Amino acid sequence: MTSRGWFRVHSFTGVITGLLLFFVCWTGTVATVSHEIDWLVTPEARVQPDGEALGWEALVGAVKAAYPVEEIHFLTAPLYERSAAEIVVDLPEQRFVRVYVDPYTGKLQGARSAVNLQRIFRDLHRRLFIPGSAGILLVSAFGLTLLVSFITPLIFYKRWWRRFFSFRAGSPRALWSELHKLSGLWGLWFVAVIAITGVWYGIEALKVVPGVQGPGAAAEAEAPLPLDRLLASVRAARPDLRIETIVPPGGRFGGALYAEGQTGSILVRDRANHVMVGARDGSVLTNYKAGDGGLYVRWTNTADPLHFGDFGGLVSKAIWFVFGVALSGLCLTGAYLHVLRLSRAAGRPTANRWSGMRTVLAGSLMVVLASLPLGYLRYRAAGPVIDGTRHLPELAPGVTAFLALWVLLTLAVLLAWIVMLWRAGGESSRQTALGAQRPKTDCV
């Protein structure tokens, strides 16, 4: 194919996937820093550092003393020194309640639904609220279009490696074109990372490669040891493990305590380092390290940190957020520049037109709108039962306010984009009409 042919592939791919790809990238960008946003908008999640942290047994005891706990799903260590510890429990009237506890004093900060911004944006980005593997496969398909958008410019954009500091803005069209090219060049590495890991999630969902098996459940223990003694067994087995998440006995691992976290290994998720001990005697049932299993298992444990950029704390998350915003903008500016090119080439027999553009945009918008009722059904199951009727979980006021602002901002961006497309398309129609009215003349 010629360079022009590869350019048309790049342009066509951007047009047919632009709107949905923007939505997937935009939600993923927010998901990258969603934990930090939750901390900002949820007062219960914030604490003041005050000496040494208490043991988990004391924190769980405080929760059980204040609430009629039916089951403890998991415990999460504070991500930062000013963050509260979080314990997700089931109460008689509501499942999956997140209780915030001051790790320094054991004081209960409050309780909210486990549905927070982090959960909402992760689910929306990962599967568009579509249940099962279908949603993951749909989102993962956009990783393929990102790969096309990543590879094709390297073919048709001549001497691209010399253009990282080239910026020549003139007309509005030239400005958007330069911004699109410059953002794409500086974000090449980021697009490659997001595309490859996104495709990998689809491969995992298809189960065409062997999955990494997690630990199985142990037999129930009638008289489990205290939580602190079980954690002492975990620390004795893995003194290098910084515990981030705990699933106590009676949860999804049955009669065993499960703990996962970090050990200083580079670019691995918490699950790559986990220990499981029997609840009856504290014996070690599973002791898994990040280096176990070879390169294939190591890659499966590296995909998540690469995709969300959480391997370096707030610094790496901020970098991923900035490049995520740029990638979201690339999705929209690409389609806009395509319409502008049609406008400039209106009336020419070689104009690269595609009549299905509006149909695809309408279909993409319908997919985005369809995610709303799916999200309602998904989270309604985690809401409280009042007078025999299950309701939606009550979100923290700050979470609700942020969601409203995010929706308004997203709608404003899309509305401005649609207006720009409409104007560019109108210019194309006017130029086509003028071309049809222009009298034909013989060339001498």
Mean pLDDT of 108-113: 94
Evaluate whether 49-115 and 227-305 have a shared fold. yes
Of all residues in the chain, the percent with pLDDT exceeding 90 is 63
The single-letter DSSP state of residue 392 is: P
CATH number of 227-305: 3.10.450
The single-letter DSSP state of residue 266 is: S
pLDDT of residue 68: 95
pLDDT of residue 247: 96
State the Cα–Cα distance between residues 361 and 22, nearest whole angstrom: 12
Contacts of 146 (CB under 8 A, 6+ apart): 21, 191, 194, 195, 198
Which of 3.10.450, 3.30.70, 2.30.30, 3.40.720 is the CATH number of 49-115? 3.10.450
Mean pLDDT of 155-181: 87
pTM score of the predicted model: 0.90
pLDDT of residue 426: 61
pLDDT of residue 18: 85
pLDDT of residue 172: 75
State the Cα–Cα distance between residues 244 and 299, nearest whole angstrom: 21
With a cut of 80, say whether residue 126 has pLDDT above it. Answer: yes
Contact (Cβ atoms closer than 8 angstroms) between residue 221 and residue 279: yes
- Domains in the chain: boundaries: 3-37+121-210+308-436, 49-115, 227-305
pLDDT of residue 69: 95
Contacts of 66 (CB under 8 A, 6+ apart): 108
pLDDT of residue 370: 87
pLDDT of residue 218: 74
With a cut of 60, say whether residue 432 has pLDDT above it. Answer: no
Q: How confident is the model at residue 427 (pLDDT cuts 50, 70, 90)?
A: low
Q: Within a 10 A sphere around the Cβ of 41, how many other Cβ atoms?
A: 19
In tens, the pLDDT along 209-263 reads 776 666 777 777 677 899 999 999 999 999 999 999 999 998 889 899 999 999 9
